[in-house]
Structure 1
Amino acid sequence: MKMLYDCIIVANGSFPSAQLPLDYLHNAPVVIACDGAVQTLHDKGITPSAIIGDMDSIPASLKELYADRIHIVEDQEINDLTKSVYYAHQAGYKRILILGATGLREDHTLGNISLLLEYAPLFEHIEMLSDYGRFIPILRTTTLSSSPKQQVSIFPMYPYGEISTEGLRWPINHRTLTAWWQGTLNEATGDKFTVFLSPETRVIVYMQNQN
Structure 2
Amino acid sequence: MNPIRILLFAGGSLGPWALRQIRPDDWLVGVDRGALYLVQQGYSPKLAIGDFDSVSLAEKEEIERHSQLVSSCDPVMKDLTDTEMALAWALEQHPAEIVLLGALGSRFDHTLANVHLLRKALKAGVPCKIVDETNEIHLTSSTLKVSRDHFSHLSLLPLTAEVTGITLDGFQYPLDNATLTIGDTLGISNVLTAETGTISVRSGQLLVIKSKD
TM-score of the two chains, using structure 2 as the length reference: 0.84
C-alpha distance after superposition, 1:41-96 (max 9, x if no partner): 22222221101112333432344341651113456322111100111122332311
User: Any conservation in 2 of the 1:10–1:31 contact (CA below 8 Å)?
Assistant: yes
State how far apart, in whole Å, the 2-side matches of 1:167 and 1:26 are. 29
Identify if the C-alpha distance between structure 1 residues 144 and 77 changes in structure 2 by more than 3 Å, giving closer, same or farther: same
Identify if the C-alpha distance between structure 1 residues 61 and 91 changes in structure 2 by more than 3 Å, giving closer, same or farther: farther
User: Any conservation in 2 of the 1:158–1:202 contact (CA below 8 Å)?
Assistant: yes
Instruction: Indicate whether 1:174 and 2:177 are aligned.
Output: yes
State how far apart, in whole Å, the 1-side matches of 2:104 and 2:25 are. 20
User: Any conservation in 1 of the 2:151–2:212 contact (CA below 8 Å)?
Assistant: no
Alignment of 1:66-145 (within 5 A): 66=64, 69-74=69-74, 76-145=78-147
Letter in 2 for 1:45: G
Instruction: After TM superposition, give the deviation of residue 133 of structure 1 in Å.
Output: 2.1
State how far apart, in whole Å, the 1-side matches of 2:4 and 2:159 are. 25
State how far apart, in whole Å, the 1-side matches of 2:184 and 2:27 are. 34
Instruction: Indicate whether 1:22 and 2:19 are aligned.
Output: yes
User: 2:117 is paired with a residue of what secondary structure?
Assistant: helix
Q: Which residue of 2 aligns with 1:203?
A: 206
Instruction: Indicate whether 1:41 and 2:41 are aligned.
Output: no
State how far apart, in whole Å, the 1-side matches of 2:23 and 2:127 are. 20
Instruction: After TM superposition, give the deviation of residue 129 of structure 1 in Å.
Output: 0.6
User: 1:183 is paired with a residue of what secondary structure?
Assistant: coil
Gaps of 5+ in 2: none
User: Any conservation in 2 of the 1:8–1:32 contact (CA below 8 Å)?
Assistant: yes
Letter in 2 for 1:203: L
User: Any conservation in 2 of the 1:120–1:137 contact (CA below 8 Å)?
Assistant: yes
User: Any conservation in 2 of the 1:26–1:46 contact (CA below 8 Å)?
Assistant: no
State how far apart, in whole Å, the 2-side matches of 1:99 and 1:28 are. 17
Question: More displaced, 40-49 or 129-138?
Answer: 40-49
Gaps of 5+ in 1: none
Tell me how many residue pairs correspond in the alignment: 204
Question: More displaced, 105-114 or 128-137?
Answer: 105-114
User: 1:84 is paired with a residue of what secondary structure?
Assistant: helix
Identical positions, percent: 22
Which has more helix, going by share of residues? 1
Letter in 2 for 1:81: T
User: Any conservation in 2 of the 1:170–1:186 contact (CA below 8 Å)?
Assistant: yes
State how far apart, in whole Å, the 2-side matches of 1:46 and 1:148 are. 27
State how far apart, in whole Å, the 1-side matches of 2:145 and 2:44 are. 35
Letter in 1 for 2:13: S
